[in-house]
Structure 1
Amino acid sequence: MAAAAAEEFVKGRVTPNGVAVITLDRPKALNAMNLEMDLRYKAFLDEWETNPSVKCVLVESSSPRAFSAGMDIKGVAAEIQKDKSTPLVQKRTLLAMPENGIGLFPDVGFAYIGAKAPGGGAVGSYLGMTGKRISSPADALFFGLGTHYVPSANLGPLRESLLSANFTDDPHRDVESLLTKFKNEPESGPQLDKFLPYIISSFGPDKSVAESVEELKKCSQSDDAAVAEWANEALAGLKKGAPFSLCLTQKHFSQVASAYRNNEHYLSKLAGVMKVEYRIALRSSVRNDFVEGNPKWKPATLEDVDKGEVESVFEPLAAEAELNV
């Protein structure tokens, strides 16, 4: 994509009251982000970060069909969720990380979000390894992919209130006040919480992929029909993933979860996680599993995955090649 196209697909402006607006306008691709779009998106944020007249940033879609389909595999994913952002979820919100199914791994800091979520990293591993979709506001809030549930009917009024707000010296508090006015509680509770004990026993940081499979097989024999159905669905999700990708995903998520509460560890910070994911992404993208396109995985089974080869994917790059974050 040429730079001119990126300008067309990612538009930015600042309103008179200090709301900086980024509009994703690539409707034919459901606003899937790639490198050029990501760079333009980041350029806006860098410019506005030092602009005292900017009070907050609103990221929106030009189309009601989708906010963003996320990653365009011809480019790279945009890491939209930052520590200081307030992602909104609505009834139609759909979130998923299906990268194992194309021979890659769940990136853009998903392991870091998972480490902060309930379950000590297990829920993140479960979602990342199985590609399970989050399709309810309650689950998105439970996992930490959203901070507020705003019903669809309230989105328009919330937007207008932001664009007409008189901000004080504490714009973050002003935004929170507006969100409190328009947010609501989800209509049902999180399914992730309902199955949390089984998620932890099956996908805890100490579990290898093979051990996760065995634990899920036990759960699939449960007298509780809901638990058995959950386990069988998780097993089906694992079967869709490349064995090598599953193993490196498990290792990465486990390492990040274990390091999260150790402030001295580089993986306890988002920057450290992103640096490691850059190494993994560069090496994963040239493996046969991704280049092949069709799911003819090499190695074909979990038993054939070389642990040493998995570990080599995490090795530091040459100093000049490392991600500068």
Structure 2
Amino acid sequence: MTLQALLNRSPLRRLSVVLQHVRSMSSAASQDDVILEKVKNTAVITMNRPKALNTLNLSMVRKIYPKLKEWESDGSTSLVIIKATGDKAFCAGGDIKAITDAARAGEPHGHNFFKEEYILNHAIGTLRIPYVALINGITMGGGVGLSVHGHFRVATQRTLFAMPETAVGLFPDVGGSYFLSRLGGNLGIYLALTGVRLKGRDVQRAGVATHFVETEQLGDLEKSLINLENANENKVLDVLDSYHNKCTLDADKEFSLKPHLEKIDRLFGGNTLEEIFENLEKDGSEWALKQLEILKRMSPTSMKVTLRQLREGAKMSFNDCFTMEFRICSGCLAGHDFYEGVRAVLVDKDNSPKWNPATINEVTSEIVDAHFKPLDSANELIIN
């Protein structure tokens, strides 16, 4: 069975496939897990772990961040392009198995990974020179953080976007509280709670990507960008628009979620998770009941935390969203469901997590509040 066929299964099964693939190919970070080079006045970041779906590890974060800051300030770099080796994945996420193993052993790796990853995500979102992400292939979790905050994101027919964290006892981090909460209507809440996938042009139509180009044109697009003289945001936009406008693949296809947008806005507009569940049940349509069944498989704690995260993130600054997310992350690392989710989809592979608390009614406001409490000053995320 192909990877694509497996990805067509249920959310937990899809996540299990991706994580099993990553685990089977994970190894010690090599010197070339990410390639950083300068071509003319363009800096090019190439994630180079194709057999591991280009999953992000701490080694890669620690290589990318200082170079990004160097390029931003050196006066000779006018553009940054980030891409990946291979056609299967731009970046399928972070190496969460290594994170949970370290956290269980009392090692700081997990906290360090998230802290330094968020600082990198913030640097991308505040970069003073144009940043173009070529998100060809699977783009989930950590891969979203490496792309979505940049000036431009180019999807292809191979792009598969999802934020499936509630299926593994986590939450849509890497700045998800900022960008998901700013998608149209309640689309971001829907994507965050269900972990639903968006493919190809849908990624651009949802507002996650800014442009759509066929995979086969990415090489020419990259050359056109590199050949720009004195590149600036407007010049880069002109090139991207040109390629986007010439692309006819699936141009006449309707946004796959368009028939459901009214229901998404109405049914996922509840102030509480209980209200959303009730809305879906009362609606009773085939689509609504299918979403309800998806939600019932997710971590109740993760879903309640996620709903509050996005509600608050909609009113927060970019900086404050990351501060909040690191507090939530610390709560997840101190809790139960993240480890249980990884066990179920990655270790034992039974895809039957035993969440604790087991139902949304058992997740008290005190449990949710604990994920948002300020940390000790020495442990807070500080972004300069």
1:53-78 deviation line (CA, Å, top 9, x unaligned): 11111111121222111222124436
Alignment of 1:216-255 (within 5 A): 216-221=280-285, 228=286, 230-255=287-312
- AA aligned opposite 2:229: F
Segments of structure 1 that go 5 or more residues without pairing to the other structure are 222-227, 260-266
Alignment of 1:149-188 (within 5 A): 149-163=212-226, 165-168=227-230, 170-183=231-244, 184=247, 186-188=251-253
Question: What's the CA shift for 1:82?
Answer: 5.4
Question: What's the CA shift for 1:280?
Answer: 0.4
Alpha-carbon distance change, 285 to 6 in structure 1, aligned in 2, over 3 angstroms: farther
1:142-192 deviation line (CA, Å, top 9, x unaligned): 3321000112232121122223x1413x52222112112211363422233
Aligned counterpart, 2:196: 132
1:296 is the counterpart of 2:362: no
Question: What's the CA shift for 1:233?
Answer: 2.8
Q: Distance in 2 between matches of 1:24 and 1:305?
A: 39
Q: Distance in 1 between matches of 2:200 and 2:148?
A: 21
Alpha-carbon distance change, 166 to 149 in structure 1, aligned in 2, over 3 angstroms: closer
The question of whether the paired residues in 2 share the 8 Å contact of 1:117 and 1:142 is answered with no
CA RMSD of aligned residues (A): 2.1
2:82 aligned to which of 44, 53, 59: 59
- AA aligned opposite 1:273: C
Q: 3-state SS of the aligned residue for 1:23?
A: strand
Number of residue pairs matched?
301
Aligned counterpart, 1:284: 332
Q: Distance in 2 between matches of 1:145 and 1:245?
A: 22
Question: What's the CA shift for 1:19?
Answer: 1.0
The question of whether the paired residues in 2 share the 8 Å contact of 1:129 and 1:238 is answered with yes
Q: Distance in 1 between matches of 2:221 and 2:264?
A: 36
Question: What's the CA shift for 1:83?
Answer: 4.0
Question: What's the CA shift for 1:6?
Answer: 5.3
Question: What's the CA shift for 1:35?
Answer: 2.0
1:143 is the counterpart of 2:191: no
Q: Distance in 1 between matches of 2:284 and 2:194?
A: 15
Mean CA deviation greater in 272-281 or 82-91: 82-91
Q: Distance in 2 between matches of 1:215 and 1:60?
A: 41
Alpha-carbon distance change, 236 to 62 in structure 1, aligned in 2, over 3 angstroms: same
Q: 3-state SS of the aligned residue for 1:81?
A: coil
TM-score by length of 1: 0.87
The question of whether the paired residues in 2 share the 8 Å contact of 1:98 and 1:130 is answered with yes
Question: What's the CA shift for 1:33?
Answer: 0.5
Aligned counterpart, 1:314: 372
The question of whether the paired residues in 1 share the 8 Å contact of 2:180 and 2:192 is answered with no
- AA aligned opposite 2:35: K
Question: What's the CA shift for 1:194?
Answer: 2.8
1:118 is the counterpart of 2:184: yes
Alpha-carbon distance change, 314 to 250 in structure 1, aligned in 2, over 3 angstroms: same
Q: Distance in 2 between matches of 1:207 and 1:131?
A: 19
Aligned counterpart, 2:323: 275
1:69 is the counterpart of 2:92: yes
The question of whether the paired residues in 2 share the 8 Å contact of 1:90 and 1:150 is answered with yes
1:86 is the counterpart of 2:152: yes
Question: What's the CA shift for 1:290?
Answer: 1.6
Question: What's the CA shift for 1:128?
Answer: 0.7
The question of whether the paired residues in 1 share the 8 Å contact of 2:166 and 2:172 is answered with yes
Q: Distance in 2 between matches of 1:47 and 1:151?
A: 32
The question of whether the paired residues in 2 share the 8 Å contact of 1:6 and 1:40 is answered with no
Q: Distance in 1 between matches of 2:224 and 2:199?
A: 27
The question of whether the paired residues in 2 share the 8 Å contact of 1:114 and 1:143 is answered with no
Question: What's the CA shift for 1:207?
Answer: 2.5
- AA aligned opposite 1:14: K
Q: 3-state SS of the aligned residue for 1:13?
A: strand
Q: Distance in 1 between matches of 2:258 and 2:79?
A: 32
Q: Distance in 2 between matches of 1:56 and 1:14?
A: 10
2:62 aligned to which of 39, 48, 64: 39
- AA aligned opposite 1:199: I
